[in-house]
């Protein structure tokens, strides 16, 4: 860790960051009212569909330009977060539209032109009961799945492996106590380093996203329950991985724990989510999810030579992608 820390210190020294009428209505009035009601219902349906579409997840494991909604879920917990977000959005949308329609109706119905003799009613017992009970019911309906989701996030199931993530200013350190104490740092790649990696591997900018790519990814096997221990070595940090539904504070002198179980292979990006100093914006997190065989091969080499292990893993991934392309053709 001392050598890594020295490298980090030198890197940050050298690198810059540019970084309602008295008489009932006649039939014509009834027909007109029904037409208006139908139009309102149709407008509500269209608006709700549009909002639901906006809330759909972006198809990426990282932020994308002009995207709306949450990132695509890579864990079951994140899928439940997606469901809860859409569920609450529908409730909120219905409330907003109801209040808007009610306000417009009241402004029209009780205007000076349509209501020349104002009512002197000061209260209505049933109405007051309704507008007290209905919000309570809505809150209970929201609270039940919310508590269930919080419980799912907070209670760590029996884990297959443990990883410790330590936040530093401004990079992350990872330890694998179950695998020969593999220990390394992950520092954001500068633009020139990204270009070197792209030239060396034949990758594109999507493979090494700016301000998100790091020199050493956290590597985990797919469909494996990971117990993540989070702490910090200097100031407050926060480990956040949107696609996994994971966000946990990193506090110096204290170890917090969370968990995830990635269900799809790929590279997923997150960032520190706690203001931690000058280069807080340049403290990304990259987690590479691979097959169990690939992880075992990587772990067997990483304990002795992390660079060689990463190169071997990258080659295995490229070979696997090539084989898949040939199989599809």
Pair 187, 11: CB distance under 8 Å: yes
Give 170-227 pLDDT, tens digit per residue.
999 999 999 988 999 999 999 999 999 888 888 888 889 999 999 999 999 999 999 9
Domain-embedded: residue 101: yes
Q: Residue 15 above 50 pLDDT?
A: no
Calculate what percentage of the chain has a pLDDT beyond 90: 63
Look at strands 226-232 and 161-168 and give their pairing: parallel
Domain-embedded: residue 222: yes
pLDDT at position 35: 53
Mean pLDDT calculated for residue range 89-118: 91
- b or e along 90-111 (b: 16 or more beta carbons within 10 Å of the residue's beta carbon)? eeebeeeeeeeeeeeeeeeeee
Do both 200 and 316 map to the same domain?
yes
Do both 308 and 205 map to the same domain?
yes
Do both 92 and 183 map to the same domain?
no
Q: Residue 256 above 90 pLDDT?
A: yes
| More confident call, 160 vs 15 | 160
Do both 107 and 165 map to the same domain?
no
Mean pLDDT calculated for residue range 292-300: 94
Do both 85 and 165 map to the same domain?
no
pLDDT at position 54: 40
Do both 110 and 229 map to the same domain?
no
Confidence band of 47 (pLDDT split at 50, 70, 90): very low
Domain-embedded: residue 260: yes
Domain-embedded: residue 320: yes
Domain-embedded: residue 5: no
Q: Which three-class secondary structure state does DSSP give residue 148?
A: helix
pLDDT at position 100: 97
Domain-embedded: residue 19: no
Q: Residue 111 above 70 pLDDT?
A: yes
Q: Residue 34 above 60 pLDDT?
A: no
**pTM metric for this prediction:** 0.76
Q: Distance between CA 239 and CA 164 in Å, rounded?
A: 11
pLDDT at position 75: 95
Give 268-278 pLDDT, tens digit per residue.
999 999 999 99
Number of domains in the chain: 2
pLDDT at position 31: 43
**Which CATH number covers residue 268?**
2.60.40.420
pLDDT at position 46: 43
The DSSP call for residue 72 is P
Do both 83 and 226 map to the same domain?
no
Q: Which three-class secondary structure state does DSSP give residue 292?
A: helix
Pair 252, 233: CB distance under 8 Å: yes
Coarse DSSP helix, strand, coil percentages of the chain, rounded to the nearest 5 percent: 50, 20, 35
pLDDT at position 19: 40
The residue segments making up the domain with residue 106 are 28-114
Q: Residue 7 above 70 pLDDT?
A: no
Domain-embedded: residue 145: no
Give 229-255 pLDDT, tens digit per residue.
999 999 999 999 999 999 999 999 999
Domain-embedded: residue 69: yes
């Amino acid at each position: 860790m001392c050598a890594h820390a020295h490298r980090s210190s030198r890197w940050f020294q050298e690198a810059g960051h540019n970084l309602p009428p008295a008489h009932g209505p006649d039939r014509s009035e009834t027909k007109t009212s029904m037409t208006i009601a139908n139009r309102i219902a149709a407008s509500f349906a269209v608006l709700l569909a549009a909002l639901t579409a906006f809330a759909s997840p972006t198809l990426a494991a990282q932020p994308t330009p002009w995207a709306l909604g949450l990132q695509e879920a890579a864990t079951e917990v994140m899928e439940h977060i997606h469901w809860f977000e859409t569920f609450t959005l529908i409730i909120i949308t219905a409330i907003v539209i109801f209040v808007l329609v009610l306000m417009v109706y009241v402004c029209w119905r009780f205007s000076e032109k349509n209501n020349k003799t104002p009512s002197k009613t000061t209260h209505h017992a049933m109405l007051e009961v309704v507008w007290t009970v209905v919000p309570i019911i809505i809150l209970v309906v929201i609270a039940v799945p919310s508590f269930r989701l919080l419980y799912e996030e907070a209670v760590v199931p029996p884990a297959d492996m443990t990883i410790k993530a330590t936040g530093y200013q401004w990079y992350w350190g990872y330890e694998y106590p179950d695998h020969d104490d593999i220990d390394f740092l992950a520092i954001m790649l500068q633009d020139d380093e990204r270009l070197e990696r792209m030239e060396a591997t034949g990758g594109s900018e999507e493979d090494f996203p700016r301000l998100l790519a790091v020199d050493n990814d956290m590597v985990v096997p797919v469909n494996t329950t990971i117990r993540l221990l989070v702490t910090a070595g200097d100031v407050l940090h926060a480990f956040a991985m949107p696609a996994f539904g994971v966000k946990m504070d990193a506090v110096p002198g204290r170890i917090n724990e969370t968990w995830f179980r990635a269900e799809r292979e790929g590279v997923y990006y997150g960032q520190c989510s706690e203001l931690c100093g000058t280069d807080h914006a340049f403290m990304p997190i990259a987690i590479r999810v691979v097959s169990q065989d690939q992880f075992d091969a990587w772990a067997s080499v990483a304990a002795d030579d992390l660079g060689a292990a990463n190169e071997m893993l990258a080659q295995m991934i490229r070979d696997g992608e090539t084989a898949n392309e040939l199989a599809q053709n």
